[in-house]
Amino acid sequence: MTHLAIFASGTGSNARKIIEHFKNSPDVRVALVVSNKKDAGVLDIARAHDIPTQVLARKMFYETEDLLGILKQHDIGFIVLAGFLWLIPSYLVQSFDKKMVNIHPALLPKYGGKGMFGRHVHEAVKANGETETGITIHYVNEHYDEGDIVFQARCPVRPEDTPEDIARKVQQLEHQHFPLVVEHLVRAS
Ligand code: GRF
């Protein structure tokens, strides 16, 4: 049985899809949800599914390695970042080498890096007149959005699309693919 931890800062729609996807899995279980925000919607989703939660303080995350002990207590073998906005410190990158993935709402290496999250991404895609965008799932290293890419999916951007329209299409791709790609990577890891 592989235990997953999901890290998220926001509403957690992707976390929800992943939790639901693995609900009846015989060999993969979402065993912990971690957030840096104590009022994040993702924590309510976790509680509704009886999944343990952990709220992170910045000092603990960056100045200690206490989180490794917590992950060990829950026997975590794989980490999924689903809208987690803090940069991952190197002790965690090294402990979960090729066992930690992030999802980004654009076709990296375009529209990635610090500050490129949420509507900022889709506004930039629109402003540049892109004709397509999509999602990228990648392993995590010490830099924002730079680890090895493992999966991309694309969708068209029409001239009349607003950033909100683009966000909707991209979210649909995320929900469609992220749980399946995570399942594939966990099995292969
Ligand atoms: C997603 O768009 C993901 O690509 C990005 O953060 C967003 C999280 O959305 N990294 P949600 O909280 O899962 O709805």
Residue 38's CATH number = 3.40.50.170
Spatial contact of 61 and 89, defined as CB atoms under 8 Å apart: yes
Using alpha carbons only, how large is the chain's radius of gyration in Å?
16
Measured from the Cα of 15, ligand 1's closest atom is 13
Other CB atoms within 10 A of residue 11 CB: 14
pLDDT at position 78: 98
pLDDT at position 114: 87
Cα 124 to middle of ligand 1, angstroms: 17
Residues in a beta bridge with 81: 7, 102
Ligand 1 site, residue 11, Cβ cutoff 6 A: yes
Encode the chain (189 residues) as per-residue pLDDT tens digits. 999 999 999 999 999 999 999 999 999 999 999 999 999 999 999 999 999 999 999 999 999 999 999 999 999 999 999 999 999 999 999 999 999 999 999 999 999 998 899 999 999 999 999 999 999 999 999 999 999 999 999 999 999 999 999 999 999 999 999 999 999 999 998
Domain tally, the chain: 1
Domain that holds residue 181: 2-188
Annotation says 104 is catalytic: yes
- Residue the block writes with tokens 């029409």: 158
Cα 82 to middle of ligand 1, angstroms: 6
pLDDT at position 117: 93
Cα 177 to middle of ligand 1, angstroms: 13
Pair type for strands 53-55 and 132-139:
unpaired
Ligand 1 site, residue 183, Cβ cutoff 6 A: no
CA-CA-CA-CA dihedral for 172, 41, 140, 187, to nearest 10: -70
